Amino acid sequence: MSPRTGILETAAPTATALDARVVEIGGVPIALRTRSLRFARMVEERYAGFVTRNEIRSGTIQFDIELLDSAPSVVNENDELQDDALQEDDLEVTFESGLWRMCRGDFSAEWDPVIGQGRIRQAMNPYSLDSVLRIVHSLVLARRGEFLVHAASVILRGRAVLFAGVSGAGKTTISRLAPADATLLTDEISYVRKSAKGYAAHGTPFTGELARLGAHCSAPLSALYLLRQGPENRIDEIDPALATQALLRNILFFARNAELVQSIFEGACEFVHRVPVRQLTFRKDASVWELLA
């Protein structure tokens, strides 16, 4: 038993390939292996459009799922994942002996980033799994100067636009007002990756109030707008330093790791240098999209 993989070697026997469901977001595939057909069907429903069966290729991150009899779920009165659920005081994300460990009241997980394998212990609900996936993607992206961000994103005429803001800033509102020919990538958590010519926004299944999965596609990113609701539609330039600070406040990252925090900071600075970031004040009607056209 090696120091790195010992904790994983004690896991329950791996499920067969027939029980694998691969959830691919932003070009990063994560295989979820379970002996429970009920859990597999839940994954297929929750991540419809982003999930395939048994297509575990080289480089796929793999998790064995251990279902618990019961565990508390972090949900609101409408049975939706809380927007700030991952920022609760009881969430811990640590890196020890080569393993990332993630723990909250409703789940625990370990992941070895070198061999790309891990284990998740949780009850039969999609909220805990949503949380683990967000954490793992944030760790993967951080090393590359890429990130998950609290932002809606939409593709219009082949270009993606991000609308960032905390809960209540208007991400869902501006998504709902988008033109009929716009493609929604998400109204809640945007997935930003570098591309050959800049950055691209990718669709995610992480939903906000719209409760609608984004499209499983991507497009070159043309701008990031910092949202503010007001009596008029207006776009204002913003100082790069202030833009960087605002972006950092909206990036999702949950681990206390100095190396990755530095990588995120540098990634945010590079992003602001390469992508226009502006303040968007808007009123709650579709006329705001005339300003953005």
Domains in the chain with CATH codes: 6-142 (no CATH), 147-292 (3.90.228.20)
Distance, CA of 285 to CA of 157 (rounded, Å): 21
Q: What is the mean pLDDT of residues 35-57?
A: 91
- The sheet with strand 20-25 has its strands ordered as 51-53, 20-25, 28-33, 61-67, 117-122, 107-112, 99-104, 92-96
- Cβ proximity of 73 and 58 under 8 Å: no
End-to-end CA, the chain = 59
- Cβ proximity of 169 and 227 under 8 Å: yes
pLDDT digits over 123-143, tens only?
Answer: 999 999 999 999 999 999 999
Distance, CA of 16 to CA of 291 (rounded, Å): 53
Strand partners, 282: 229
Mean pLDDT of the chain: 88
Q: For residue 105, which amino acid is it? A: G
pLDDT the model gives residue 70 = 65
Q: For residue 228, which amino acid is it? A: R
* pTM exceeds cut of 0.85: yes
pLDDT confidence band for 165 (50 / 70 / 90): confident
Residue 4 has pLDDT above 60, yes or no: no
188: which 2 tokens? Answer: 């809640």
Distance, CA of 109 to CA of 98 (rounded, Å): 14
Residue 77 has pLDDT above 90, yes or no: no
pLDDT the model gives residue 55 = 77
Residue 82 has pLDDT above 80, yes or no: no
pLDDT confidence band for 166 (50 / 70 / 90): confident
